[in-house]
Structure 1
Amino acid sequence: MCICINCRHIHRCKTYEFIEQQHNNHKIKQILNYFIPINTIIIVYINKKHVNIYLDWDLKECSSFVEKPGNWLTFL
């Protein structure tokens, strides 16, 4: 699971937006000042089901992470 959901920076984070684009969940939003995190590690899981290949993108480590549980709920 992506650690971004409990991060204070989720609403402005450029890395989180990238991961959302990879999941095809990108919502068009006008953000004037993106937050660019440092030292991030993105893990890509490759899943094969029959002849189809699925990629699952998760952020596993981020030096800019600041915990704020439930912050992602304001996206809904």
Structure 2
Amino acid sequence: MCICIHCHYVDRCETYHAVEMQHEQPHLTDTPNFLPEQPEINVNIRNGGKEMEWDVVGCASFVEERDKWARLRPGELVPT
């Protein structure tokens, strides 16, 4: 699971913006202005390379804010 959903910077982060693009999801912002330090991304490749799942699993800039993503998108399913 992507740690970004519990990060204070999720709605401003350039790395999370890129993850949204990879997953073809709507952006929390069109103009991210926060460049995180040392994000670590796992890319899982499935179905013979036809599907890719990106998850941020570590980040030196991570500041925990539980359920921040859910508060920004009330009523939507939280990405897993």
Please list every run of 5 or more consecutive structure 1 residues that lacks an aligned counterpart in the other structure: none
Q: What is the deviation of 1:53?
A: 1.6
Quote the RMSD (CA, aligned, Å): 1.9
Equivalenced residues, count: 73
Greater share of strand: 1
- Please say if 1:75 is aligned against 2:77: no
* Cα distance change on mapping 1:71 and 1:28 into 2, 3 Å: closer
Identify which range, 4-13 or 22-31, moves more after superposition.
Answer: 22-31
Report sequence identity in percent.
36
TM-score by length of 2: 0.81
Identify which range, 51-60 or 6-15, moves more after superposition.
Answer: 51-60
CA deviations on 1:8-31 (whole Å, 9 max, x unpaired) are 000100000000000000338443
* Cα distance change on mapping 1:28 and 1:3 into 2, 3 Å: closer
- Given that residues 12 and 29 in structure 2 are in contact (C-alpha distance below 8 angstroms), is that contact kept between their aligned partners in structure 1? no
